[in-house]
Amino acid sequence: MGSKWTAANVPDQTGRTAVVTGSNTGLGYDTAAVLAARGAHVVLAVRNPDKGAEAAERIRAAHPGAAVTVQQLDLSSLASVRKAAEEIRANQPRIDLLINNAGLMYVPRRELTEDGFEMHFGTNHLGHFALTGLLVDHLGEGSRIVSVASIAHRILARIRFEDPHFESGYNRVAAYGQSKLANLLFTYELQRRLAAAGRPTIAVAAHPGISNTELMRYIPVPVPDILYRIATQPAEQGALPTLRAATDPAVQDGQYYGPDGLGELRGHPKLVASSAQSHNQDIARRLWTMSEELTGVSFPI
């Protein structure tokens, strides 16, 4: 294997089932397309089933014979998460890869999910926390749970236990940062619990650097076009850290993958480090407890 890991390094996935959230566009779509091309049965878990069906058709057109199905999932609704988990369990004998990719970024004004959670925290973290808890015992030998984080977990980021939903002083950069820090705290705490329970599943994380996707539509500072093109990378490149975390046989539990370029903004995937705060076990345990209370989901591990 060369030093630069690419989609060509993804091993054969025949016989494996992958659930990818937010996979009708952007990073999730490119992640799903590569897995399907390598033989996985891919479940596109998306909020809009029509857009999901269009994405499935694009994948099948590019890769005739690809096994792709669509599952309606709105991560901003715990009722939708529960329904989706039930349907996935009923329709799939087992899951080999659960890729928690969906998310939103820098929503300009404070918005709440239907359950009353701040939109970033509710969608990016709590929705995925609940989905993972409802599916974790459906994952088999050699399975992986991959959560997609961000370099933003270092920017104005802390878990606001006193006000997680920004009832006072909404700041979209801090809100997004909290949700992405939560993704990492969740991944590392989940890995500790899976290992302690002797489960055959590992939890790992990845981040895409800065990728040119729909997520960038709310970016808070205007960026000149030329600088934007230099600093960002295409979605198919941004998907590579997730694909590596999900499929590279050398990946170990609790690892974190991101681009190898300057500032981890772009490049090929490599093992990277996350902030000291993301490894704080006291914060992770507090977040886990709070997440269980808010979602009503307890992990059977």
- Gap between the Cα atoms of 77 and 274, Å rounded: 29
- Give the tokens for residue 110: 């404070």
Q: Where do we find the tokens 């209370």?
A: 293
Residue corresponding to tokens 């080999």: 96
Residue 144: predicted pLDDT: 98
Neighbouring residues of 208: CB distance < 8 A, sequence distance ≥ 6 = 27, 148, 150, 238, 239, 241, 242, 258, 259
pLDDT at position 211 is: 67
Give me 105's structure tokens: 């970024």
* Structure confidence at residue 217 (pLDDT): 46
pLDDT, residue 233, reads 79
Round to whole Å and give the CA distance between 186 and 48.
Answer: 26
Catalytic residues: 176
Cα Rg of the chain, angstroms: 18
CA-to-CA separations, 269 to 6, 39, 58, 195, 299, in angstroms, rounded = 8, 22, 25, 25, 30
Element (H, E) at 72: strand 67-72
Does the domain at 10-295 match CATH 3.10.20.30? Answer given as no
Write down the pLDDT at residue 234: 84
Let me know the angle formed at the C-alpha of 270 by 264 and 271, rounded to the nearest 5 degrees: 95
The region that residue 195 occupies, defined by phi over 0 for left and psi between -120 and 50 for alpha, beta otherwise, is alpha
Which tokens hold the place of 225?
Answer: 């076009």
Nearest of 216, 228, 231 to residue 261 by alpha carbon: 231
pLDDT tens-digit profile, the chain (301 residues)? 447 999 999 999 999 999 999 999 999 999 999 999 999 999 999 999 999 999 999 999 999 999 999 999 999 999 999 999 999 999 999 999 999 999 999 999 999 999 999 999 999 999 999 999 999 999 999 999 999 999 999 999 999 999 999 999 999 999 999 999 999 999 999 999 999 999 999 999 999 998 665 544 455 555 555 554 556 778 889 999 999 999 999 999 999 999 998 899 899 999 999 999 999 999 999 999 999 999 999 999 8
Of the candidates 264, 172, 177, 265, the one whose C-alpha atom is nearest the C-alpha of residue 220 is: 172
- Comparing CA positions, the residue from 225, 60, 247, 30 lying closest to residue 143 is 247
pLDDT of amino acid 213: 55
- φ, ψ of residue 68 to 5 degrees: the values are -135, 130
Q: CA separation (Å) from 106 to 109, 152, 247, 292? A: 9, 11, 30, 25
For the chain, what are the domain ranges?
Answer: 10-295
